[in-house]
Amino acid sequence: MNAGGLAADVAVAAAGHEPNGYFWVGLVQFAWPDIAEGLDFDSEGGMFCAVGSPSDLARLKAALEAVITSPEAVHDIIARAESSGFEFDD
């Protein structure tokens, strides 16, 4: 997925993060650790890349589709992550 140009970028930037591929790896690892554990990530600044089985990737796609279009959902995940001490690597 291209990182940047997403509806959720507003919430990412407002929280002081860069809406890049590395940010999205962290968000996936925090929000859906059960999905993330079955994936390998090869993201860069301008893209989010996950490699895994078709079923794991389908689960990831369904989870991300609901979030990348919703600044409110991303804001909520970021707030939960930061209150738990999670640090994004962006």
Show pLDDT as tens, one digit a residue, over the chain (90 residues). Answer: 999 899 999 999 999 999 999 999 999 999 999 999 999 999 998 999 999 999 999 999 999 999 999 999 999 999 999 999 999 988
Number of domains composing the chain: 1
Question: What is the structure's pLDDT at 48?
Answer: 95
Report if residue 27 sits inside a domain.
yes
Total count of residues recorded for the chain: 90
Range of the domain at 77: 9-83
For residue 7, the SS3 value is coil
Report if residue 88 sits inside a domain.
no
Report if residue 45 sits inside a domain.
yes
Question: What is the structure's pLDDT at 90?
Answer: 84
pTM (two decimals): 0.93
Phi/psi at 6 (5° precision): -95, 155
Question: What is the structure's pLDDT at 4?
Answer: 87
Question: What is the structure's pLDDT at 71?
Answer: 96
Dig out the tokens for 63 from the structure: 């989870």
Report if residue 89 sits inside a domain.
no
